[in-house]
Structure 1
Amino acid sequence: MLTGDRVRLRAIEPSDAEFLWRWHNDPEVMRWMDDPYPPSLARIAKDIGERDAGTYDNLVLMIETLAERTIGVVALRGAQPETGAAELDIYLGERDTWGQGYATDAMRVICRYGFEKMRLHRISLTAVAENAAARHVYQKVGFVEEGRLREAFRRDGKWHDMILMGLLEGELR
């Protein structure tokens, strides 16, 4: 278990299927995420049961408050020792926790783990340009804009740009 000032990150358990199902079926939670087909509870439970424990190339952890309330998911995907790079994904599924610093703390914890324990040199992510709240969190922990994919994400019949952001070892704030 990885612990920060406001959150702890832990392995996914079978009992987390209901959280994931509820969050993936909440249009507001999924607003800026690439998740076009909401999965069934049975499918999520099956996937959890079949997945390996967190691996170097696919570390997926649940985010809990220090009071042990499960509130979201964070992941480092595609990590390769040869490149020293990984991609970060994060979301908070419990809307009443938005804007309270949980995502910022979770990002600091997972990035610190990536740099110190996984020996990564670079962590990257993409964000929809209109998702100002997420971009603010990313910038707060040190991510910088590195590029733009024009009209790369479609939502509600409209195309949106994706912002590429990166964080190098030593830049975490």
Structure 2
Amino acid sequence: MVKLAPLQPDQAACFYDWIRDPEAIEYSLSTFQSLKTNAQIDSWFAATLRQENCLNLGIYAEDTNALIGYAGLSGISHTNRSGEYFIFIGEKSFWGQGVGTAVTQQVLAQGFAALGLNRIMLTVSEPNTGGRRAYEKAGFLVEGRLRQACCRRGQFHDKIVMAVLKADWEQPGAGGV
């Protein structure tokens, strides 16, 4: 269905239409809400590729090799063996097809096996029920709630804090190995 591979510096243009689509960015990075021009998107993308302590991967359609989004881990702490998961699927034709769950499982495998992490966390907007289901299928558990931590379309909503530990992920049925 999809595969993960490094993002390439010449792929910023793929994000132009995605970031300008209010539906696509509704539950995404707050930064996306302020990016209006191609130059701003180019600058954000270049900075993303230069980030240290991050794993930034493109999500590619397996049959066409087209970039459909990106995912990875930010804030990787080798001391604490932890990181924060993120995903953005810009191509809406891939929504609701299990791509989020598949990508989440692949990134968790890289985080736990290749990077040696023990804990991977995320925050998800409470109204993003599809995202929450994908994270639960991949083994994430709810740890808490950040009250009214996000404002979209003039409305505040909570962010749900979720995490998965390596030991939990490795158990059968938890989405892991």
TM-score (norm 2): 0.87
Q: Deviations over 1:62-92 (max 9, x none)?
A: 1002111211110200011100110011011
Task: Give ranges in structure 2 of 5+ residues lacking alignment.
Answer: 170-174
Name which of 119, 139, 150 aligns with 1:122: 119
2:153 matched residue in structure 1: 156
- How many matched pairs? 167
User: Which segment is superposed worse, 25-34 or 110-119?
Assistant: 25-34
Q: Deviations over 1:21-60 (max 9, x none)?
A: 22111101011122320242223334545665675x1111
Measured at CA, do residues 159 and 49 of structure 1 come closer, stay the same or move farther in structure 2, by a change above 3 Å?
A: closer
TM-score (norm 1): 0.89
Is 1:63 equivalent to 2:59 in the alignment?
yes
Instruction: Tell me if structure 2 keeps the 8 A contact 1:107–1:141.
Output: yes
1:16 matched residue in structure 2: 11
Is 1:113 equivalent to 2:110 in the alignment?
yes
Is 1:74 equivalent to 2:45 in the alignment?
no
Measured at CA, do residues 161 and 51 of structure 1 come closer, stay the same or move farther in structure 2, by a change above 3 Å?
A: closer
Runs of 4+ deviating beyond 2 Å? 42-55
Name which of 39, 43, 51 aligns with 1:42: 39
CA distance in 2, matches of 1:49, 1:91: 17
Instruction: Tell me if structure 2 keeps the 8 A contact 1:11–1:53.
Output: no
2:23 matched residue in structure 1: 28
User: Which segment is superposed worse, 43-52 or 29-38?
Assistant: 43-52
Deviation of the 1:19 alpha carbon: 1.1
